[in-house]
């Protein structure tokens, strides 16, 4: 029996969830159908909001954005080692670090199941919000756009991680064999990408500018976020011209002058921020569960568990003048921006600065946000797509904007091949620990060489481009879904 989080129709307030048991690995059915009489309770603006707030709340969960996610995006890559103490494997973080993972590796089960739990919440929102005829029509339109953006976001995570996956686009009907078959049958990678694209196009027509959100609504998905994510989705598919067109529609943003300011509380949702997951410190249930704690410095002068420690290779990739290095990597005997001194007795040489919380340093509930889409990445997406289309000289200024902010001289690269490599390296330096590096290595064909340089790890071409689907899902599918090659 697998425990899953299911939205309980009677306690949807602020994403409250009910834990239940099920034999289904992808449990996408609601805990109960909402009778018309019960639905009337939510037939107002607050009720409509609660359906979508429940989707955002999923991103705060341990199994969605914390330990497994750090493992499969950072530790598995050449940007991070397992860290912590040698005897603390972190369940499977040593296995991920060594690229020795299998379909039974727990982090993949967490990654797979948590995103489908979030997709379930999105599907419920998309089913019920149109029925709330006493809620403001413009609000309902916006909320539907947010739900589609978030569903696209989660499917993008799944397709990058596993390739083709089941496409669950509605709340299944209990007992319906065709719906059950749908939840167990993989669609192709191309079908998933097409679905993501359509969700984002729908979201673009419904979402407002970021500037329209105030107060408690700050941080919700905006039209700029939908354009930015669609540009990234096109980039991953090598749809270069479409990616450029979407970056051109991401307007009203600018680079933060001092790189480190992005990651302070004062830098949350600032002029560079396009989309980030919101964490409120000191309150259980409103913070991203232990995101800061598991990556905090470990030892007598530390405050955390010490996992996902930056590699020497990442540290050395920065030039000595690059302001991003000491804003990304904490090292021993370092004084942080708030005056806290990291003494010499922490256990590991390096730690992730972007996960640091000043106000709640040693707490499980911190005020750290996860920055997922920033304007700097839009500039790099545009530069990469233009360069791939042979517009190399026109692409270079966008690359240089990012370098200039980091106090790094303009690139000396001029050929298409050299500019390509320069952009790829810039993505590594700019976006380190923002959960892109592994997927960048795979999509650009750099993974085998990068892993070999990272302690002689073996990236097997034809296998490691995607992660294994969880064995529980494969077993449950009864032949409807095949395992990824090599696993």
Q: What is the pLDDT of residue 9?
A: 25
Domain locations in the chain as residue ranges: 2-77+103-207, 291-368
| Integer Cα distance of 428 and 438 in angstroms | 10
Handedness of CA 345, 350, 353, 355 (dihedral sign): negative
Q: Domain 2-77+103-207 falls in which CATH fold?
A: 1.25.40
Q: What is the pLDDT of residue 17?
A: 32
**CA nearest 127: which of 55, 201, 185, 222?**
55
Is 20 a residue whose pLDDT tops 70? no
Q: Give the model confidence (pLDDT) of 153-203 as tens digits.
A: 999 999 999 999 999 999 988 788 888 898 999 999 999 999 999 999 999
Residues 330, 433 contacting (CB under 8 angstroms): no
Mean pLDDT score, 322-336: 97
**CA nearest 318: which of 368, 353, 348?**
353
User: Bigger pLDDT: 426 or 20?
Assistant: 426
Q: Give the model confidence (pLDDT) of 31-77 as tens digits.
A: 344 556 689 999 999 999 999 999 999 999 999 999 999 999 999 99
Q: What's 386-418 look like in SS3?
A: HHHCCCHHHHHHHHHHHHHHCCCCCCCCCCHHH
Q: What is the pLDDT of residue 101?
A: 98
Give the DSSP per-residue string, 330-369: EETTEE-TTS-EE-TTBSSSEEEGGG--STTTT-SS--PP
Q: What is the mean pLDDT of the chain?
A: 92
Residues 408, 426 contacting (CB under 8 angstroms): no
Q: What is the pLDDT of residue 36?
A: 61
Q: What is the pLDDT of residue 281?
A: 83
Is 11 a residue whose pLDDT tops 50? no
Q: Give the model confidence (pLDDT) of 310-321 as tens digits.
A: 999 999 999 999
Is 359 a residue whose pLDDT tops 90? yes
Residue 26 pLDDT grade (very low, low, confident, very high; cuts 50, 70, 90)? low
User: pLDDT > 70: what percent of the chain?
Assistant: 92
């Amino acid at each position: 029996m697998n425990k899953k989080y299911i939205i309980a129709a009677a306690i949807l307030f602020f994403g409250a969830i009910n834990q239940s048991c099920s034999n289904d690995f992808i449990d996408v059915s609601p805990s109960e159908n909402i009778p018309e009489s019960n639905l009337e309770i939510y037939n107002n603006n607050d009720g409509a909001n609660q359906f979508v707030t429940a989707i955002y709340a999923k991103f705060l969960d341990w199994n969605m954005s914390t330990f497994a996610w750090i493992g499969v995006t950072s530790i598995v890559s050449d940007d991070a080692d397992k860290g912590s103490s040698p005897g603390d494997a972190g369940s499977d973080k040593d296995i991920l670090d060594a690229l020795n993972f299998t379909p039974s590796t727990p982090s993949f089960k967490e990654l797979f199941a948590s995103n489908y739990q979030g997709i379930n919440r999105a599907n419920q929102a998309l089913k019920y919000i149109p029925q709330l005829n006493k809620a403001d029509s413009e609000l309902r339109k916006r909320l539907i756009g947010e739900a589609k953006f978030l569903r696209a976001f989660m499917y993008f995570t799944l397709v990058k991680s596993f390739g083709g996956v089941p496409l669950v686009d509605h709340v299944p009907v209990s007992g319906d064999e065709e719906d059950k078959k749908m939840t167990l049958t993989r669609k192709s990678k191309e079908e998933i990408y097409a679905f993501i694209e359509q969700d984002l196009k729908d979201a673009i027509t419904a979402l407002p500018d970021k500037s329209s959100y105030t107060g408690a609504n700050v941080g919700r998905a905006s039209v700029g976020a939908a354009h930015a994510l669609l540009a990234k989705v096109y980039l991953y598919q090598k749809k270069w011209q479409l990616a450029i067109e979407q970056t051109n529609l991401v307007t009203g943003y600018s680079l933060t002058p001092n790189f480190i300011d992005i990651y302070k509380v004062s830098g949350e949702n600032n002029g560079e921020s396009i989309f980030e997951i919101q964490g409120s410190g000191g309150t259980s249930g409103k913070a991203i569960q232990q995101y800061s704690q598991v990556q905090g410095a470990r030892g007598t002068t530390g405050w955390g568990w010490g996992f996902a420690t930056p590699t020497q290779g990442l540290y050395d990739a920065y030039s000595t003048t690059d302001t991003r290095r000491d804003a990304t990597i904490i090292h021993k005997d370092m004084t942080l921006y708030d005056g806290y001194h990291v003494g010499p007795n922490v256990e590991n040489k390096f730690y992730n600065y972007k996960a640091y919380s000043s106000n709640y340093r040693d707490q499980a509930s911190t005020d750290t946000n996860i920055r997922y889409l920033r304007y700097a990445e839009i500039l790099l997406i545009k530069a990469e797509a233009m360069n791939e289309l042979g517009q190399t000289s026109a692409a270079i200024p966008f690359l240089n904007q990012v370098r200039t902010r980091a106090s790094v001289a303009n690139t000396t690269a001029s050929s298409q091949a050299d500019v390509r490599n320069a952009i790829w390296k810039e993505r590594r330096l700019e976006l380190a620990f923002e959960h892109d590096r592994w997927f960048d290595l795979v999509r650009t064909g750099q993974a085998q060489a990068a892993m070999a340089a990272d302690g002689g790890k073996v990236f097997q071409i034809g296998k490691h481009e995607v992660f294994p689907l969880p064995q529980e899902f494969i077993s449950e599918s009864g032949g409807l879904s095949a395992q990824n090659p090599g696993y």
